[in-house]
Structure 1
């Protein structure tokens, strides 16, 4: 597989984490679980093979995605096609508050949904895909994508209070963080929650829960030996039972099973 990661510069950098391109990807498994990470993404499939979304329980077909789609912020796992044969895609990974600037649509209305991207971008997304298909140079693909996104970028970004709140919760998903943030946001609690959902897609509490889970799986990657009780407390869970229940809700496995089943890439679990 050929994989390339591009980090945009200003003004896109405030709203886009990265743009990734890969081709020649043929995994040795058919399905994988994509874990919730609080982010929203735009996916442009550069093959003609439709990709499927499956029911998380019985793995029956649930949805078919073709050519390009937008994935909203999720509070649950997503079971998807692993890629197929010689898969090739370009993926735009937005920041926690970034997607609104490009889809021009409240993020709370796309929560936990995968939506055809032409709903937001109309025929422009089709033109972008055609240009990517007709461009061999990888750097040029990124340049073309940045040009497309720059034309969509709104002049005014999310309020600083919401931008700062999402970053603070992500870096410190502790129980007491939310009240402090809300009290110091400059907004009433109701208005703060409304703005947060508009730009992030999840409620502050829902986002905090996802960030707690993200801290847990990131910490697991670096631990030589695991003290499960201490890990739960460090990530902001009340106790080990609270930790196990939420971990299973977001990954489909208890923490010990997760260590056995997880793949090489964070937030992806192959189903073999």
Structure 2
């Protein structure tokens, strides 16, 4: 049986856009034994597993490296993907405590999590469930806003594809290097250096997808690495395999988030 998975992303409303990158859904039938590679992106997700029975909600912390997730035969999951630095007004805990791990949502929101589970179970169809997630999240929005200087620093990392010097980011935050790293890690879940590495390797992934035949040395140069050996080391450390092996994996079932639809 061939895989019939469908992955979509839906943009948030303007009120949530500073915090949320997208709402997403993954549905369909997986091929026997199929798994997919989840790439690190610096984001934190709330995952809602709807594969039979009552919905199960988990907070998935920012990832330092890719993870390979086995899929059940029938897949039905929806989620909220927070921007790096966008989750603190909702979760109210140091985000580095969640990095590389997950936590049941009811451990953070005992009353709200029960309501989310009940209402998501009653909702019919993906559009209604995604609209419901947005409405419930808006109710949870605190009055305090993300730190503007920190979000500016995160924006510089993404705009430069990880090529911004740390001293430039420290100047944006107007704090000492130690304070900068501590505040960044608390509000993003990763150190600024790790987020830069992730931004750079994701740029390499995008280049590899757009130009599959690009020679390794040219890929390394365009992605901002010293040389091809540097690219291969970083790619293997963050993605779990070499650029060539990743390209071959994409030629098969691929990564379900590689080509998202724009909506439902």
TM-score (norm 2): 0.86
Corresponding residue for residue 134 of structure 1 = 122
1:110-259 residue pairs with structure 2 within 5 A? 110-223=98-211, 225-259=213-247
Provide Cα deviations, 1:70-111, integer angstroms capped at 9, x if missing partner. 1111112222222x1222111111111112221111111111
Offset of residue 238 of structure 1: 2.0
Corresponding residue for residue 51 of structure 2 = 47
Superposition RMSD on alpha carbons, in Å? Answer: 2.3
Offset of residue 243 of structure 1: 0.9
Q: 1:265 aligns with which of 232, 238, 256?
A: 256
Moved over 6 A (4+): none
Q: Is the 8 A contact 1:22 1:89 kept in 2?
A: yes
Counterpart-to-counterpart distance in 1, 2:192 and 2:126:
37
Corresponding residue for residue 71 of structure 1 = 60
The alpha-carbon distance between structure 1 residues 220 and 26, as it changes in their structure 2 partners (threshold 3 A), is same
Counterpart-to-counterpart distance in 1, 2:145 and 2:16:
11
Offset of residue 5 of structure 1: 3.3
Offset of residue 155 of structure 1: 1.4
Offset of residue 22 of structure 1: 4.1
Corresponding residue for residue 10 of structure 2 = 6
SS at match of 2:85: coil
Provide Cα deviations, 1:33-67, integer angstroms capped at 9, x if missing partner. 222111111101112479xxxxxxxxxxxxxxx81
The alpha-carbon distance between structure 1 residues 232 and 2, as it changes in their structure 2 partners (threshold 3 A), is closer
Corresponding residue for residue 54 of structure 1 = none
Q: Is the 8 A contact 1:48 1:67 kept in 2?
A: no
The alpha-carbon distance between structure 1 residues 34 and 21, as it changes in their structure 2 partners (threshold 3 A), is closer
Provide Cα deviations, 1:164-189, integer angstroms capped at 9, x if missing partner. 11121122135453222212322222
**Contiguous gaps of at least 5 residues in structure 2:** 260-264
Q: Is the 8 A contact 1:174 1:235 kept in 2?
A: no
Provide Cα deviations, 1:95-147, integer angstroms capped at 9, x if missing partner. 11112221111111111112212121223223212211211144332232122
Corresponding residue for residue 61 of structure 1 = none
Corresponding residue for residue 79 of structure 2 = 91
Offset of residue 224 of structure 1: 5.6
Q: Is the 8 A contact 2:157 2:163 kept in 1?
A: no
